[in-house]
Structure 1
Amino acid sequence: MSIMGTVLLLATESEGGFGLNFDILETNIVNLAILLGILFYFGQKVLTNTLSERSSNIEKTIVEAETKAKEAAIALSEVQQKLTQAQAEAQRIIQTAENNAKASREAILAQATEDVQRLQETAARDLDTERDRAIAQLRQQVVAMSLQKVESELQAGVAEDTQQKLIDSSIALLGG
């Protein structure tokens, strides 16, 4: 059976089943056709306006998105440039800090060397002073002992020839 035969079979079925009704007045096909025509005629303008409005909104949104994307790309470029500059500045600061640290270290070492040298010189002067004082004290003791010995010998009496030698040596010392 063909499709047309099936449609006719359904159309002839009249008792409570499904079928096609070809009565134009009863089915309101004319009314439906007029309604569809009016909807098509007036709906076309509304649909066209709605679609064109929607299309323009979409285009506007796309343009805004592209503009924002360009602005974001520019901002990203600027931020990357600032980041590069900040990294360069950080490197410069680190280098300066390292140089300052080296200079400070060298200055501290030089000062420490000067302090050690000054302490050594002070210690050497103190040692020399103590040695000179000890020598002076020893001389005083030797002189005191010599004077005591001379006094004791003088009290015991000096021989004539010893007195003469002493006087001669004293005159020789005086340049006479």
Structure 2
Amino acid sequence: MKNLTDSFLSLGQWPMAGSFGFNTDILATNPINLSVVFGVLIFFGKGVLSDLLDNRKQKILSTIRNSEELRGGAIEQLEKARARLQKVEREAELFRVNGYSGIEQERLNLINSTSKNLEQLENYKNETVLFEQQRAINEVRQRVFQQALQGALGALNSCLNNELHLRTISTNMGMFGAIKEITD
């Protein structure tokens, strides 16, 4: 580092006449150098800086336009989504109302069907009870008839002797013969 500073100091000691060199007098040369540098920068850099600023301005305006277009598209999509939501809500309400009325109708149908089934079962039960009563009555009649018949046969057997028995048989045979002749 010391070599570098020494080389700059040695440059300051060169003679000015007919040669190029640096003026190391900062107070005398600095405002002039700065005004020359600023002048060159303003003259040449003005176009570049203005182009850079114009490009930046165009990019910003383009970004703003794109953002506004995206915002408009998002608002449009939001409105479409809201419209779809309202439509779905209306359909859901319609399904809910129809569902409740359908459920009520199904409940009434089920009640009516159950009522009819109960009525049919009651009728079947009554018919079964009547049938069983008739069967029981017939069974009792048969038993009574059998017992009466057995009692009558027992009474007849005890009262009949061989002669009476033969006479009854021949009388019955005669009646059967007469019936046979009538039918022929």
TM over 0.5: yes
Any idea what the Cα deviations from partners look like across 1:59-110, whole Å, max 9, x if unmatched? 1111111111111100110111111112122222223332332222222222
RMSD over aligned Cα, in angstroms? Answer: 2.7
**1:78 and 2:115 matched:** no
Q: Which has the larger displacement, 104-113 or 121-130?
A: 104-113
Query: Mind listing any 5+ residue stretches in structure 1 that lack a counterpart?
Result: 1-22, 158-176
Letter in 2 for 1:58: I
Query: Mind listing any 5+ residue stretches in structure 2 that lack a counterpart?
Result: 1-24, 161-184
Letter in 1 for 2:84: K
* TM-score calculated relative to the size of structure 2: 0.62
- Cα distance in 1 between the residues matched to 2:76 and 2:54: 32
- Cα distance in 1 between the residues matched to 2:151 and 2:70: 118
State the 1:154 CA deviation: 9.2
Query: Which residue matches 2:133?
Result: 131
Query: Which residue matches 1:100?
Result: 102
Moved over 6 A (4+): none
State the 1:123 CA deviation: 0.8
Any idea what the Cα deviations from partners look like across 1:147-174, whole Å, max 9, x if unmatched? 45555279659xxxxxxxxxxxxxxxxx
Alignment counterpart, residue 38 of structure 1, candidates 23, 37, 40 = 40
- Cα distance in 1 between the residues matched to 2:30 and 2:53: 31
Letter in 2 for 1:137: E
- Amino-acid identity (%): 26
Any idea what the Cα deviations from partners look like across 1:26-58, whole Å, max 9, x if unmatched? 324333322221211112111111111111111
